[in-house]
């Protein structure tokens, strides 16, 4: 199918993604999984079980899998694997909305709620029309369709995008809003064009960019993102920033649901209040209490 893994399309926490062709001529992407994780294929089984239950325009199309001894592979529609060029703000906003709609489907549209637990830029694929597709369900977890706390024996996700409650129960219980946190970190990274995590800093410094951008939003200043923006573009950016900041609230109960996120992104900027400052940020001027409220 892959002509001996001749053409590599991408690389992640696995052996790689390779271009392939089915007997009927359809092009596919074959994701080959490592066999050294020591979890008895749990990631592989998770991905097959969760993604096989999905069918949505913003979820990567799953065609099948291969399980042959130590060889494990997942087969996707290749149209979902594309290189992302430089994009304008309107396009980035459309992508952010599409990703949110994909998450909304996972959280609300399936018979069983699916929590992804690894939302990050690397796991968002674009087709030739820049339609975003959520991929990589290796850490996903199936759970009932309610707001009950999820039982987890270990931390899941990628540093820089993991919700606080996932690595420490002191921040609250793990539930669907843990995906919302990861989504918010990703949206802020899309705005800032930089990583939210620097390996050279400690964990409490992860949100240094969010701290900086919060100050500018709170003071109603121009964002000064080293690029020229029209008034319409700045409104789009401010909307994405406000939504991102609401999504990364430390207390899961203060974060919006993903359905509310979609509503916020598609609504008017004037309707979005400034969120409270995440308390893991560095100390600085606090906004007046009257300018903040919780969104659920």
Q: Where residue 212 falls among pLDDT bands split at 50, 70, 90?
A: low
* Chain segment 54-66, per-residue pLDDT in tens: 889 999 888 888 8
For residues 83 and 34, give the distance between their C-alpha atoms in angstroms, rounded to a whole number.
23
SS3 105: helix
Pairwise pLDDT comparison (118 vs 167), residue with the higher score: 118
- The answer, yes or no, to whether residue 264 has pLDDT greater than 90, is yes
pLDDT confidence of residue 124: 87
Which 8-state DSSP code applies to residue 106?
Answer: I
To the nearest whole percent, how much of the chain has pLDDT over 70? 68
* 41 torsion bin: left (phi>0), alpha (psi -120 to 50), beta (else): left
Beta carbons within 8 Å of 133's beta carbon, 6+ residues apart? 58, 59, 60, 61, 80, 102, 124, 125, 126, 127
For residues 235 and 224, give the distance between their C-alpha atoms in angstroms, rounded to a whole number.
13
For the segment 165-175, the average pLDDT, to the nearest whole number, is 73
> Cβ distance 79 to 131 under 8 Å?
no
SS3 27: strand
SS3 10: strand
Selection from 242, 268, 258 nearest residue 296 by Cα? 258
Beta carbons within 8 Å of 181's beta carbon, 6+ residues apart? 161, 162, 163, 164, 247, 248, 249, 252, 255
Kindly report the average pLDDT of the chain as a whole number. 77
Beta bridge partners of 32: 16, 73
* Chain segment 65-123, per-residue pLDDT in tens: 888 877 888 888 765 444 445 678 999 999 999 999 999 999 998 888 899 999 998 88
pLDDT confidence of residue 186: 93
pTM, rounded to two decimals: 0.77
Domains of the chain: 8-80 (3.30.200.20), 89-291 (1.10.510.10)
* Chain segment 217-244, per-residue pLDDT in tens: 654 455 555 556 788 888 898 899 999 9
- The answer, yes or no, to whether residue 204 has pLDDT greater than 80, is no
To the nearest whole percent, how much of the chain has pLDDT over 90? 23
For residues 180 and 126, give the distance between their C-alpha atoms in angstroms, rounded to a whole number.
20
Annotated catalytic residues are 118
SS3 113: strand
Beta bridge partners of 29: 19, 76
pLDDT confidence of residue 202: 46
Pairwise pLDDT comparison (18 vs 46), residue with the higher score: 18
For the segment 139-149, the average pLDDT, to the nearest whole number, is 74
For residues 276 and 20, give the distance between their C-alpha atoms in angstroms, rounded to a whole number.
48
pLDDT confidence of residue 287: 33
Pairwise pLDDT comparison (205 vs 153), residue with the higher score: 153
User: Torsion angle, CA of 187/270/223/185, rounded to 10 degrees?
Assistant: -20
Q: Where residue 247 falls among pLDDT bands split at 50, 70, 90?
A: very high
CA dist list (Å): 177 to 64, 165, 235, 258, 264? 30, 10, 26, 8, 16
Pairwise pLDDT comparison (39 vs 73), residue with the higher score: 73
Q: What is the DSSP string of 212-280?
A: HHHHHHHTT-----SS---HHHHHHHHHHHHHHHHHT-SSGGGSPPHHHHHHHHHS-GGG-PPPPPPTT
Q: Where residue 285 falls among pLDDT bands split at 50, 70, 90?
A: very low
Q: Tell me phi and psi for residue 114, to 5 degrees.
A: -115, 120
At residue 55's C-alpha, the angle toward residues 148 and 179, to 5°, is 35
Q: How many CB atoms lie within 10 A of CB 38?
A: 6
């Amino acid at each position: 199918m892959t002509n001996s893994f001749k053409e590599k399309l991408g690389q992640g926490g696995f052996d790689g993604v390779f271009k392939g062709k089915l007997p009927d001529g359809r092009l596919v992407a074959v994701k080959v999984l490592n066999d050294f994780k020591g979890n008895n294929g749990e990631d592989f089984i998770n991905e097959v079980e969760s993604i096989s239950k999905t069918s949505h325009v913003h979820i990567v199309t799953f065609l099948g899998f291969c399980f042959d001894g130590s060889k494990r592979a997942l087969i996707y529609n290749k149209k979902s694997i594309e290189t992302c060029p430089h994009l304008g703000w309107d396009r980035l906003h459309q992508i952010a909305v599409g990703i949110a709609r994909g998450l909304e489907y996972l959280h609300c549209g399936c018979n069983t709620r699916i929590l992804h637990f690894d939302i990050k830029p690397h796991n968002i694929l674009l087709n030739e029309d820049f339609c975003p597709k959520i991929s990589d369900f290796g850490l996903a977890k199936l759970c009932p369709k309610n707001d009950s706390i999820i039982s987890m024996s270990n931390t899941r996700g990628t540093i820089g995008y993991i919700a606080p409650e996932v690595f420490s129960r002191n921040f609250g219980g793990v539930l669907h809003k843990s995906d919302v946190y990861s989504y918010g970190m990703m949206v802020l990274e899309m705005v800032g064009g930089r990583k939210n995590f620097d390996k050279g800093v400690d964990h409490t410094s992860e949100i240094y960019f969010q701290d900086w951008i919060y100050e500018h939003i709170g003071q109603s200043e121009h964002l000064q993102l080293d690029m020229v923006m029209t008034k319409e573009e700045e409104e789009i950016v401010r909307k994405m920033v406000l939504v991102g900041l609401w999504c990364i609230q430390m207390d899961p109960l203060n974060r919006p649901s993903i359905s509310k996120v979609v509503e916020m992104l598609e609504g008017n900027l004037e309707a979005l209040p400034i969120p409270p400052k995440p308390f893991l940020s560095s100390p600085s001027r606090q906004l007046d209490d009257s300018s903040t409220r919780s969104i659920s």
